């Protein structure tokens, strides 16, 4: 695994000494780089997660350097509180509340790492509290809308068969789009199961329903060999027409095309399939712990967000149908 260069961790890009040589990293950059290595190698966080940490720490280190702080050991609780206030002020123009919360969580993790590794005497961020976020409920579409979306992709052309398999698998498994396009052929198990690798390289086994399995089998038999012959050998399950692994952007385009064909006006993203998967399972009586395992959530509290969605639906039905509800 190629580690991120120190300059990417926080050193202002483009800074150079006379003669064009890149400036030597300061103490702050070195400790940030060490933290990024730690979460990559020892904690095994996914590449996208590490990239988010890197972006957050670049923002944080830039703010510190503007105030003359180039060593993490010199950061005080007051400095972190000042950065918190600045981040909240920036939220009025460029940052959402969830982005601010994520950035501050990254900063707290960084300073906790420094204290645990003995690189600083105390954790300067220990008493700094992140902002509380309002409850944001997942957005799902109805079962009828999902059926319209899935049936809008028909035909016997290779691209159509692949797209139908992709969409059916998204809804049947509740997998994140990155997890789905990251599947390899060997991840398709006998007995209508697939092996999904989620965040932190954690694997889970997820069943596949008959509709999705039928669509997947048609793609594997009639389309994937054709696409594979056009490119270099790859174990990827879903391929582009030139034989390469289908990208997240490519999958997003497949979804948007299906939305247009179905005539749906609701905003639908790859995560809409995941939200709908969980919501429809709970509406059908599935246990929240089972849904937690299927989604790969580390905490059941995350999965319980979907119970609020189904409770809202029950209230709507009750108020509409019961003669003395209103």
Confidence of residue 8 (pLDDT cuts 50, 70, 90): very low
Considering 102, 148, 248, 271, which one is annotated as catalytic? 271
Residues 278 and 194: their CA atoms lie apart, in Å, by 17
Considering 54, 162, 176, 224, which one is annotated as catalytic? 176
Position 240 scores a pLDDT of: 95
- Count H helices and E strands in the chain, helices first: 15, 3
Considering 30, 111, 213, 274, which one is annotated as catalytic? 274
Considering 112, 199, 204, 245, which one is annotated as catalytic? 199
- Domain tally for the chain? 2
Same domain, residue pair 289 and 187: yes
Position 126 scores a pLDDT of: 87
Domain boundary among 99, 116, 133: 116
Residues 224 and 266: their CA atoms lie apart, in Å, by 31
Print the domain residue range for 248.
143-321
Per-residue pLDDT of 203-254, as tens digits, reads 898 999 999 999 999 999 999 999 999 999 999 999 999 999 999 999 999 9
Most confident of 22-26, 148-152, 191-195: 148-152
Domain assignment present for residue 129? The answer is no
Six-digit token string for 117: 């590794």
Q: Is 38 a catalytic residue?
A: no
Six-digit token string for 322: 């019961």
Contact 306, 138 (CB under 8 A): yes
Same domain, residue pair 97 and 197: no
Q: Is 306 a catalytic residue?
A: yes
**DSSP sequence for 190-209:** TTTEEEEE-GGG-EEEEE--
Mean of the pLDDT values across residues 2-27?
Answer: 47
Which has more confidence, 117 or 288? 117
Same domain, residue pair 177 and 307: yes
Six-digit token string for 56: 């957050």
Domain assignment present for residue 134? The answer is no
Domain assignment present for residue 137? The answer is no
Same domain, residue pair 58 and 152: no
Q: Is 275 a catalytic residue?
A: no
Name the residue among 93, 94, 105 with its Cα closest to residue 133: 105
Q: Is 301 exposed, middle or buried (0-12, 13-18, 19+ CB in 10 A)?
A: exposed
Name the residue among 215, 225, 161, 223 with its Cα closest to residue 192: 215
Domain assignment present for residue 138? The answer is no
Domain assignment present for residue 1? The answer is no
Contact 194, 182 (CB under 8 A): no
Six-digit token string for 319: 């108020």
Same domain, residue pair 163 and 110: no
Same domain, residue pair 167 and 62: no
Q: Is 280 a catalytic residue?
A: no
Six-digit token string for 136: 């944001």
Confidence of residue 3 (pLDDT cuts 50, 70, 90): very low
| pTM (two decimals) | 0.59
Q: What is the CATH number of the domain that holds 243?
A: 1.10.443.10
Domain assignment present for residue 53? The answer is yes
Same domain, residue pair 93 and 173: no
Q: Is 111 a catalytic residue?
A: no
Position 34 scores a pLDDT of: 94
Place of tokens 């260069």: 5
Mapped to the 3 state alphabet, what secondary structure does 207-244 carry?
ECCHHHHHHHHHHHHHCHHHHHCCCCCCCECCECCCCC
Domain assignment present for residue 156? The answer is yes
Beta bridge partners of 253: none
Tell me, rounded to whole angstroms, the distance of Cα 263 from its chain centroid: 27
Tell me, rounded to whole angstroms, the distance of Cα 232 from its chain centroid: 28
Helix (H, G, I), strand (E, B) or coil at 206: strand
Six-digit token string for 21: 């040589």
Six-digit token string for 244: 């390469």
Residues 252 and 230: their CA atoms lie apart, in Å, by 22
């Amino acid at each position: 695994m190629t580690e991120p260069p120190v300059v990417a961790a926080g050193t202002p890009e483009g800074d150079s000494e006379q003669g064009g040589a890149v400036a030597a990293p300061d103490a702050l950059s070195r400790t940030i780089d060490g933290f990024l290595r730690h979460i990559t190698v020892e904690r095994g966080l996914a590449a996208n997660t590490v990239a988010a940490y890197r972006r957050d720490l670049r923002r944080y280190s830039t703010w510190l350097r503007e105030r003359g702080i180039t060593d993490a050991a010199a950061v005080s609780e007051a400095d972190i509180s000042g950065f918190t206030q600045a981040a909240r002020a920036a939220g009025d123009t460029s940052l959402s509340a969830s982005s601010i919360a994520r950035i501050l969580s990254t900063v707290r993790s960084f300073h906790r790492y420094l204290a645990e590794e003995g690189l600083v005497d105390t954790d300067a961020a220990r008493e700094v509290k992140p902002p509380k976020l309002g409850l944001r409920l997942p957005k799902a579409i109805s079962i009828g809308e999902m059926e319209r979306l899935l049936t809008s992709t028909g035909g016997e052309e290779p691209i159509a068969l692949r797209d139908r398999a992709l969409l059916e698998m998204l809804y049947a498994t509740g997998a994140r789009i990155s997890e789905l396009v990251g599947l390899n052929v060997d991840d398709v198990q006998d007995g209508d199961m697939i092996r999904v690798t989620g965040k932190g390289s954690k694997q889970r086994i997820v069943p596949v329903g008959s509709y999705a399995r039928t669509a997947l089998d048609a793609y594997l038999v009639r389309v994937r060999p054709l696409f594979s012959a056009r490119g270099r050998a790859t174990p990827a399950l879903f391929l582009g027409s030139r034989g390469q692994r289908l990208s997240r952007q490519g999958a997003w385009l497949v979804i948007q095309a299906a939305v247009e064909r179905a005539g749906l006006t609701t905003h639908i993203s790859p995560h809409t399939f995941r939200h709908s998967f969980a919501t429809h399972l709970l509406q059908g009586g599935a246990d929240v712990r089972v849904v937690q395992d299927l989604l790969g959530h580390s905490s059941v509290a995350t999965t319980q967000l979907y119970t609020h969605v189904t409770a809202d639906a029950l209230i709507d039905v009750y108020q509409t149908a019961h003669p003395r509800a209103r």
